[in-house]
């Protein structure tokens, strides 16, 4: 008759089986840790099943041959200790993940191996030694003198884990610390309970609690694993970087940002795009030298290597650059993927994981706009990044304190020989009063999203100027808008409410946008421009000829005026041939009903040339530099007498 209660074991068996099903369902690559987790399940479930069988066979010893009982009990003793060793191995792997010095790891693994092996030998020889258990001649089960040795071994393993943890706790991610703080005490309490109440079989509960703790913290893919590539996700990337920095483990991180990846989704389909990302992820996963790889956002990957030497870092960087210079094969399609590859090395600088991410992101931006898509961290880059960060800081504080000012640059009307309109340009000084060029801070404001507030400040200043200078003989004043404002659905209402507040007639305000703004989505751009034009707000196309030029696109849009960029004019006016090209451009625009303004005219001869070519308006230092609002008012008033048409 059975003197043991199996209820807890049955409950544990169902819990373990359920967890195993969830775990197994997620088809992921078999990392070492995942493999160990499989063993934890296999050994725990087997130990519980064998335990239940043992209870049955022991209680029916009269009818069951003793050798079956012997075998099952030997198997049970081995399985229990092995399951515990697998859990310990998994925990060691977690604790020592961020410790590059693998000596401790080796010692732990050898120690575990010896303990488990010795115990297994003892269990296998038990039918002779009878140290763990034995059977009476009648076949009844009796505990041997070392029956509790398994618990002692488990206790030793727990102590090993704690020792290892205490030695390396500075390198521990917070989640591992949490598990170490909870799991061993729970295991000790449960083991103590088992010792106190030997008739309630409890080992399965200990295993299922351990497996559940590890599973919920480390093995569910939602937590730190990217669902698509099974690499680490952004969270894992951050926590690993922080862990390594906390434990002073120097590392080399390489980030890869894929460019124009949406093209593959559009050309094929999203499944293809996913498969391509999976293929790339698999390649990252195969990188060696102790690296771990991540997909930290949609099309951004990273690999983190332990830092050993500059030569090794260079080797890893080149390996990744080379791979991304070659095509990828996915579903029998060969794909050439453009990628920005950047790296940096952490050797103890006072950075945080956020600083590293910012550096990588800024370097990625730089590599996108620069000539070389592969960018290694250098002191120049560090200085450029510092400058960007500083300017972001200045921008933020200037938005808060409204420190921006505007200057106004008149545009000369060639036919009327007077100044008819002007462009408002923003100005900003650094904390020490040094002017910061608009061409430097506007792109930073655009990237950091600060341009929005800045543009509304300019709009307000321009409207306020127009409101205060109603009598100024000025046809219109233009403001520059960036992509973000142009795409803002509230653009029209914001402009209208500002014009209303200062009671400005709508025709007085013009908006300058570049071709970059319209190149994104022509249909949308057209709709926005038409809507605003119907409300009397006209558009100028700024910087024509800076690279995005496309006549057919421009012709479709309701621009009032096309501003030819300074770079186009200075380049073209150098030779007679180029002059003819500018003439053709101007007449092409005229024939389509646009006015043409020439920007950046600095000399009398440039002015003569573009006037002869038929330019309607001229903007440039030759006629007038951008001026403070008061100086501008005086300038316009004093030149209004020149009107000759
Ligand atoms: P932009 O809109 O093409 O403005 C004309 C730029 O050319 C101005 O530079 C102006 O000072 C400069 N310029 C005018 N005449 C001459 C000349 O004869 N020679 C030379 N070398 N330059 C001349 P600025 O003020 O530094 O502005 C640079 C760019 O920054 C602007 O180019 C515009 O794209 C952007 N920007 C300026 N203010 C704003 C603003 O309020 N909002 C936005 N989104 N962008 C702005
Ligand atoms: Mg402009
Ligand atoms: Mg321009």
The CA 52 to ligand 2 mean position distance, Å, reads 82
Q: Is the CB of 458 under 6 A from ligand 1?
A: yes
- The residue whose CA is least distant from atom 28 of ligand 1 is 439
Element (H, E) at 71: helix 66-95
DSSP reduced 3-state for 49: helix
Residue 485 CA, closest ligand 1 atom number: 44
Residue 567 confidence (pLDDT): 86
CA dihedral 161, 165, 167, 168 (to 10 degrees): 130
Q: Is the CB of 620 under 6 A from ligand 1?
A: yes
- The residue whose CA is least distant from atom 15 of ligand 1 is 620
Residue 2 confidence (pLDDT): 53
Cβ atoms < 10 Å from Cβ of 142: 10
Residue 586 Cα distances to 147, 445, 476, 511, 554, angstroms: 99, 33, 22, 21, 13
Q: Which ligand number lies closest to the CA of residue 452?
A: 1
Which residue from 291, 175, 320, 321 is spatially nearest to 231, judged by alpha carbons?
A: 291
Could you give the CA distance from residue 457 to residue 452 in angstroms, rounded to a whole number?
9
pTM, 2 dp: 0.64
Question: How many alpha carbons lie under 13 Å from residue 163 in its C-beta half-sphere?
Answer: 12
Look at strands 595-598 and 617-618 and give their pairing: parallel
Residue 44 confidence (pLDDT): 94
Residues 6+ apart with CB under 8 A from 558: 526, 529, 530, 533, 539
Q: For residue 162, with 0-12 CB atoms within 10 Å meaning exposed, 13-18 middle and 19 or more buried, which class applies? A: middle
Distance of CA 361 to the CA centre of its chain: 8
Element (H, E) at 40: helix 32-59
Could you give the CA distance from residue 134 to residue 581 in angstroms, rounded to a whole number?
104
- The residue whose CA is least distant from atom 7 of ligand 1 is 600
The CA 569 to ligand 1 mean position distance, Å, reads 15
Could you give the CA distance from residue 241 to residue 230 in angstroms, rounded to a whole number?
18
The CA 44 to ligand 1 mean position distance, Å, reads 71
- The residue whose CA is least distant from atom 45 of ligand 1 is 480
Q: What is the largest CA-CA distance in the chain?
A: 129
Positions of the chain with pLDDT under 50: 1, 643-645
Q: Is the CB of 85 under 6 A from ligand 1?
A: no
First-to-last alpha carbon distance for the chain, in angstroms, is 119
- The residue whose CA is least distant from atom 25 of ligand 1 is 425
Helix segments in 268-424, DSSP class H:
270-285, 310-324, 353-369, 379-401
The CA 405 to ligand 1 mean position distance, Å, reads 14
Q: For residue 334, with 0-12 CB atoms within 10 Å meaning exposed, 13-18 middle and 19 or more buried, which class applies? A: exposed
Residue 1 confidence (pLDDT): 45
Cβ atoms < 10 Å from Cβ of 39: 16
Contact 596, 617 (CB under 8 A): yes
The CA 425 to ligand 1 mean position distance, Å, reads 6
Residues 6+ apart with CB under 8 A from 174: 239
Question: How many alpha carbons lie under 13 Å from residue 526 in its C-beta half-sphere?
Answer: 8
Q: Is the CB of 442 under 6 A from ligand 1?
A: yes
The CA 565 to ligand 3 mean position distance, Å, reads 6
Residue 104 confidence (pLDDT): 80
Q: Is the CB of 257 under 6 A from ligand 1?
A: no
Element (H, E) at 345: strand 338-346
DSSP reduced 3-state for 223: helix
Residue found by looking up tokens 């500002």 in the block: 498
Q: Is the CB of 281 under 6 A from ligand 1?
A: no
Look at strands 338-346 and 333-335 and give their pairing: unpaired
Could you give the CA distance from residue 297 to residue 280 in angstroms, rounded to a whole number?
14
Residue 548 confidence (pLDDT): 63
CA dihedral 46, 48, 54, 59 (to 10 degrees): -160
- The residue whose CA is least distant from atom 46 of ligand 1 is 480
Residues 6+ apart with CB under 8 A from 308: none
Q: What does 5-20 look like in DSSP terms, one character per residue?
A: B-HHHHHHHHHHHHHH
**If you ran DSSP here, which 8-state letter would residue 100 be given?**
-
The CA 187 to ligand 1 mean position distance, Å, reads 70
CA dihedral 173, 176, 178, 181 (to 10 degrees): -130
Could you give the CA distance from residue 45 to residue 204 in angstroms, rounded to a whole number?
8
Phi and psi for 505 in degrees, rounded to 5?
-65, 140
Q: Is the CB of 483 under 6 A from ligand 1?
A: no
Residue found by looking up tokens 């951004």 in the block: 300
Q: Is the CB of 455 under 6 A from ligand 1?
A: yes
Contact 459, 406 (CB under 8 A): no
Residue 516 confidence (pLDDT): 83
Checking phi first, is residue 604 left (phi over 0); if not, alpha (psi -120 to 50) or beta? alpha
Q: Is the CB of 435 under 6 A from ligand 1?
A: no
């Amino acid at each position: 008759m059975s003197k043991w209660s199996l209820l807890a074991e049955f409950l544990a068996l169902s819990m373990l089986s359920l967890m195993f099903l969830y775990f197994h369902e997620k088809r992921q690559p078999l990392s070492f840790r995942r493999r160990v987790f499989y063993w934890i399940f296999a050994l725990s479930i087997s130990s519980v099943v064998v335990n239940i069988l043992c209870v049955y066979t022991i209680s029916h010893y009269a009818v069951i041959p003793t050798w079956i009982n012997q075998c099952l009990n030997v198997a049970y003793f081995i399985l229990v200790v092995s399951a515990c060793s697998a859990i310990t191995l998994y925990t060691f792997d977690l604790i020592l993940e961020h410790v590059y010095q693998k000596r401790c790891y080796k010692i732990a693994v050898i120690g575990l191996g010896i303990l488990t092996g010795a115990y297994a030998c003892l269990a296998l020889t038990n039918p002779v030694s009878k140290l763990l258990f034995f059977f009476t001649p009648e076949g009844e089960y009796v505990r041997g003198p070392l029956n509790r040795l398994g618990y002692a071994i488990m206790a030793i393993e727990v102590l090993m884990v704690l020792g290892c943890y205490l030695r390396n706790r500075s390198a521990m991610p917070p989640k591992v610390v949490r598990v170490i703080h909870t799991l061993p005490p729970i295991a000790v309490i449960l083991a103590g309970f088992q010792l106190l109440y030997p008739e309630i079989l409890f080992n399965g509960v200990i295993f299922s609690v351990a497996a559940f703790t590890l599973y919920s913290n480390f093995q569910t893919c939602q937590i730190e694993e990217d669902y698509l590539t099974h690499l680490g996700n952004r969270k894992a990337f951050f926590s690993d970087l922080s862990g390594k920095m906390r434990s002073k483990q120097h590392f080399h991180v390489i980030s890869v940002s894929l460019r124009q990846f949406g093209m593959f989704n559009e050309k094929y389909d999203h499944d293809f795009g996913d498969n391509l990302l999976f293929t790339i992820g698999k390649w990252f996963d195969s990188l060696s030298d102790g690296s771990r790889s991540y997909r930290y956002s949609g099309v951004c990957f990273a690999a983190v290597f332990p830092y050993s030497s500059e030569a090794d870092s260079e080797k890893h960087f080149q390996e990744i650059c080379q791979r991304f210079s070659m095509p990828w094969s996915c579903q029998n399609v060969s794909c050439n993927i453009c990628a920005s590859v950047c790296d940096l090395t952490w050797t103890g600088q006072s950075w945080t994981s956020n600083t590293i991410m910012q550096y990588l992101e800024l370097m990625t931006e730089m590599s996108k706009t620069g000539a070389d898509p592969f960018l290694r961290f250098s002191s120049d880059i560090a200085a450029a990044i510092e400058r960007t960060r500083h300017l972001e800081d200045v921008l933020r504080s200037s938005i808060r304190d409204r420190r921006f000012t505007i200057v106004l640059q008149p545009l000369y009307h060639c036919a009327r020989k007077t100044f008819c309109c002007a462009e408002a340009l923003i100005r900003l000084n650094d904390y020490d009063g040094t002017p910061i060029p608009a061409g430097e801070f506007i792109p930073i404001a655009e990237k950091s999203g600060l341009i929005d507030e800045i543009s509304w400040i300019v709009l307000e200043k321009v409207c306020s100027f127009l409101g205060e200078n109603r009598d100024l003989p000025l046809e219109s004043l233009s403001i520059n808008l960036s992509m973000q404002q142009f795409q803002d659905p509230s653009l029209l209402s914001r402009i209208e409410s500002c014009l209303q507040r200062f009671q400005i007639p709508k025709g007085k305000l013009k908006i300058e946008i570049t071709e970059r703004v319209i190149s994104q989505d022509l249909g949308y751009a057209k709709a926005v421009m038409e809507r605003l034009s119907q409300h009397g707000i006209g558009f100028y196309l700024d910087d024509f000829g800076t690279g995005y030029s496309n006549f057919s696109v421009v012709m479709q849009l309701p621009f009032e005026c096309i501003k030819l960029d300074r770079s186009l004019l200075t380049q073209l006016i150098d030779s007679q041939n180029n002059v003819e090209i500018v003439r053709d451009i101007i007449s092409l625009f005229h024939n389509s009903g646009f006015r043409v303004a020439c920007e950046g005219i600095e000399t009398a001869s440039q002015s003569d040339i573009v006037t002869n070519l038929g330019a309607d308006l001229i903007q440039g230092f030759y006629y007038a530099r951008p001026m403070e609002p008061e100086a501008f008012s005086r300038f316009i008033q004093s030149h209004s007498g020149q009107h000759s048409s």
